[in-house]
Structure 1
Amino acid sequence: MTTTGKSAAVSHVGKVRSNNQDSGYAGQYLFVVADGMGGHAGGDVASAIAVKRITETDRAYSSPHDAEFALRTALLAANSLLAETVFEHAELTGMGTTVSGILRVNNQIALAHIGDSRIYLLRGNVLTQVTADHTFVQRLVDSGRITAEEAAVHPRRSVLMRVLGDVDASPEIDTAVLDTRSGDRWLLCSDGLSSYVTDDKMHLALSTIPAAQSAAERLVRDSLDQGAPDNVTVIIVDIDDSADSSHLPPVTVGSAAVPLVFENDVVRRPLRLPSLLLHPLKASPPEDSHFEPESDDYLTALIQEDRRREVRRQIGWLAFIVIVAGLIVAACAIGYEFTQRHYFVGAENGRVTIFQGVQQDLGPISLSHVYRSTTLQLDDLPLYQRDTVEATINADSIEDAERIIEQLKSVGTP
């Protein structure tokens, strides 16, 4: 029986950005998500242009390999359109977009992917990330330079190495043909979801909420609960071979759902190529998005820069520790000097003794020492004075301590 599917598409601007730079499309055969970059007047245009061009491939194909070729060709055509748009609208220089899409052909899908939007597959009770991020840190993970845990908190964790845009005329696009089966649930999303919602939470929503629309809305809501500093777009495709399965009307969401607007008068900060595309992992105001072209030389330069940054960070922490330690030592020295301005009279080896310092100890460190041991024996004193000396008698100065000794001698036993 021919496999069909039901789908849902939801996009939200998030709680920080002023416009939605994501675009998404859920059609009869085609499902695609794009995350634009290039600032307020560029990212939305880039993702919208790409998705509008790629939706032209939403039709039946005789084989999944034909669909794979059509999808790859559409992404390259979208890349050319972006370059042409930048040529006509110089204020959009530096814009680009990620794209992740699938085309269904019977019981298989053709997949095309570039950037850090993602495609997941829930099969049975196992959620698998199908695509690999084209980011700087993913290259570091793949080469064994850092672990996946280190990548999650790396300062360059979302520097893109590959996107559609006006930089590379022939960008490298990942494509594949995969089998699918009844009961599979496919998830396409921008990094507004994957960067802020854990795989466990995604798995929970996908595995426990039967309706595609409800599951997509739940995932978007999970992102909003994390502060949603970035746009978030979610597309869910359910594969169902039941006879009563029906296709929903095509749905376009995000910036591709509205007419394109070119804001020539928008004041944009200067862009440089190459530059950085940063999506913070924590909920914080997102910066304009940029792109770093992929090359071995440039990757090596980034790694060396990261190493220098790590060395500077370690030196900074070492200097901080040294300064703090110095302050602590200075405070201790000042405090100890203060204690040595005090005196008291007590007993030492059965004799009345003058001590310099205070009676308290700081752990194993004594804050007093013998200043002068007198010839007056403790046993020569009356019981009351003896107990008083053993309990120690505070003196305001060394002169005051000497007077106390003389007073004790005057009442001592001859």
Structure 2
Amino acid sequence: MATVTDSAAISHVGRIRNNNQDSGLAGHNLFIVADGMGGHAGGDVASAIAVQRIAEADKPYVSAPDAEFALQAALVAANSLLAETVFEHSELTGMGTTVSAISVLDGQVALAHIGDSRIYLYRDAELTQVTTDHTFVQRLVDSGRITEEEAAVHPRRSVLMRVLGDVDSAPEIDTSILTTVPGDRWLICSDGLSGIVSFDQIRNELATGGAQEVAERLVKDSLDGGAPDNVTVVIVDIGESPASVKPPVIVGSAAAPLAFGAEEVVRSRALRLPPFRLHPVRETHFEPDSQDYLDELIEEDQRRARRRKIIWLASILTLVIVVVLGFFLAYQWTQTRFYIGVDNGSVAIYQGVQQDLGPISLHSLHKDTDIPVTDLTLYDQQTVRSTISAGSLEEALQIVDRLELNRVR
């Protein structure tokens, strides 16, 4: 029977931020990642409250539907608790959190998800993203307006359409039940991992090693990529018989007690690493999941696309003008040059330079002197056939006069 054989949870503040707004849990049967939003004013508080409340659902259940219902109820209860906390502590207004959680029960997994943290399943060397991001850019991807690649760099990629918090009294939570088999490896992570480490790299890291080793490698990959955001990783391995019972592991903000009062909220602190490289740190924020707002954002995105197209066309036009102008000026310069050569056996003066630019000739016959080349000395014959450069028409005429004087009579 498929059951949990190993698990691990790691949370890191990252290389840019100075507090950890993520929380995670690797329990007996329940596994959670929550990514807080609200900035310094309460993102860490939101994720900690949510994980600590949802952790109460880490119990054995009779059936997977019971576990699914319990998970959904736990997320709704956490949402109410967050609203109550904001009511009592107005300085936390606007805080919220994503939640992605799974509960493992006898070959089945109950899922609950809201926000842009993710749940992945690694099975038979293939990686599948199980959850769908509740973000504005994901809406654009789903509607075919932009590609996945464009979504990764879209200026609105930090806009969440669904979260737990004081923003929605009845949040829409995605729940489902999936089958799991021995050999499966589940990954739950915040966007501090999925937004930095590529899909292929995540798949490769999940291929080998124990749960703790894999979790550590994934966090390191995020740090090596700059880690502009907090990163939290929970790994769950499925086998045929359970391993020895491990105590639950809570990481991130939920791992330390939070105290509320008139003063600043007391939070656990992690050592801040010096930046690996510069990254813009975008604060994730919630916007109402309404058609009016979506229409407004879509119209703004269309305006931005039109501006990009105009800028692109203007850049191409400018480049064409610069190239044409450069060629024109270069051609004009060539026409100030002259050289002495041969035309039908006679000494001739040419205007321009001897090179051709594709089908375009950069020289033309200016004057045929009617001096037979054979009348010149052997030395002058060789130099004329090899051409003699002249900086001006006057200089070219002087060269012709000299050749005339040296003619063999």
1:223 maps to a residue whose letter is S
CA distance in 1, matches of 2:122, 2:340: 81
Instruction: Identify if the C-alpha distance between structure 1 residues 262 and 408 changes in structure 2 by more than 3 Å, giving closer, same or farther.
Output: farther
* 1:217 to partner: Cα distance: 1.4
* 1:5 to partner: Cα distance: 4.1
* 1:329 to partner: Cα distance: 2.3
Q: Which secondary structure state, in structure 1, belongs to the residue aligned with residue 47 of structure 2?
A: helix
Per the alignment, residue 337 of structure 2 pairs with 342
Instruction: Identify if the C-alpha distance between structure 1 residues 218 and 400 changes in structure 2 by more than 3 Å, giving closer, same or farther.
Output: closer
- % same residue: 62
Q: Which secondary structure state, in structure 1, belongs to the residue aligned with residue 250 of structure 2?
A: strand
**TM-score, normalised with respect to structure 1:** 0.87
Q: Deviations over 1:326-364 (max 9, x none)?
A: 222222222222222222222222222222223333344
Q: Which secondary structure state, in structure 1, belongs to the residue aligned with residue 39 of structure 2?
A: coil
**TM-score, normalised with respect to structure 2:** 0.88
* Residue of 248, 251, 256 corresponding to 2:249: 251
**How large is the Cα RMSD of the aligned pairs?**
2.6
Per the alignment, residue 56 of structure 1 pairs with 56
* 1:367 to partner: Cα distance: 2.5
Per the alignment, residue 99 of structure 2 pairs with 99
Residue 317 of structure 2 corresponds to residue 322 of structure 1: yes
Instruction: Identify if the C-alpha distance between structure 1 residues 241 and 388 changes in structure 2 by more than 3 Å, giving closer, same or farther.
Output: closer
* 1:73 to partner: Cα distance: 1.8
Per the alignment, residue 305 of structure 1 pairs with 300
| 8 Å CA contact 1:123, 1:185 repeated in 2 | yes
Larger mean CA deviation between 89-98 and 66-75 belongs to 89-98
2:367 maps to a residue whose letter is R
Per the alignment, residue 32 of structure 1 pairs with 32
Instruction: Identify if the C-alpha distance between structure 1 residues 124 and 346 changes in structure 2 by more than 3 Å, giving closer, same or farther.
Output: closer
| 8 Å CA contact 2:158, 2:284 repeated in 1 | no
* 1:404 to partner: Cα distance: 2.0
Per the alignment, residue 230 of structure 1 pairs with 229
* 1:119 to partner: Cα distance: 1.2
* 1:158 to partner: Cα distance: 4.5
CA distance in 1, matches of 2:6, 2:280: 35
Q: Which secondary structure state, in structure 1, belongs to the residue aligned with residue 134 of structure 2?
A: coil
CA distance in 2, matches of 1:264, 1:387: 100
* 1:413 to partner: Cα distance: 4.3
CA distance in 2, matches of 1:371, 1:93: 85
Instruction: Identify if the C-alpha distance between structure 1 residues 227 and 215 changes in structure 2 by more than 3 Å, giving closer, same or farther.
Output: same
Alignment of 1:169-188 (within 5 A): 169-188=169-188
| 8 Å CA contact 1:6, 1:247 repeated in 2 | no
* 1:12 to partner: Cα distance: 1.0
| 8 Å CA contact 1:344, 1:354 repeated in 2 | yes
| 8 Å CA contact 2:160, 2:284 repeated in 1 | no
CA distance in 2, matches of 1:377, 1:173: 97
1:339 maps to a residue whose letter is T
2:204 maps to a residue whose letter is L
* 1:407 to partner: Cα distance: 2.2
Q: Which secondary structure state, in structure 1, belongs to the residue aligned with residue 18 of structure 2?
A: coil
Alignment of 1:10-409 (within 5 A): 10-209=10-209, 211-242=210-241, 245-260=243-258, 284-409=279-404
Gaps of 5+ in 1: 267-281
Per the alignment, residue 267 of structure 2 pairs with none
* 1:107 to partner: Cα distance: 3.4
CA distance in 1, matches of 2:394, 2:317: 41
Per the alignment, residue 273 of structure 1 pairs with none
Per the alignment, residue 269 of structure 1 pairs with none
Q: Which secondary structure state, in structure 1, belongs to the residue aligned with residue 223 of structure 2?
A: helix
Q: Which secondary structure state, in structure 1, belongs to the residue aligned with residue 128 of structure 2?
A: strand
2:225 maps to a residue whose letter is Q
Where does structure 1 differ by over 6 angstroms across 4 or more consecutive aligned residues?
A: 262-266
Per the alignment, residue 269 of structure 2 pairs with none
CA distance in 2, matches of 1:396, 1:264: 87
| 8 Å CA contact 1:45, 1:261 repeated in 2 | no
* 1:82 to partner: Cα distance: 2.4
Q: Which secondary structure state, in structure 2, belongs to the residue aligned with residue 139 of structure 1?
A: helix
Aligned residues: 397
1:304 maps to a residue whose letter is E
Larger mean CA deviation between 133-142 and 13-22 belongs to 133-142
Larger mean CA deviation between 294-303 and 318-327 belongs to 294-303
Q: Which secondary structure state, in structure 2, belongs to the residue aligned with residue 40 of structure 1?
A: helix
CA distance in 1, matches of 2:365, 2:283: 69
Q: Which secondary structure state, in structure 2, belongs to the residue aligned with residue 208 of structure 1?
A: coil
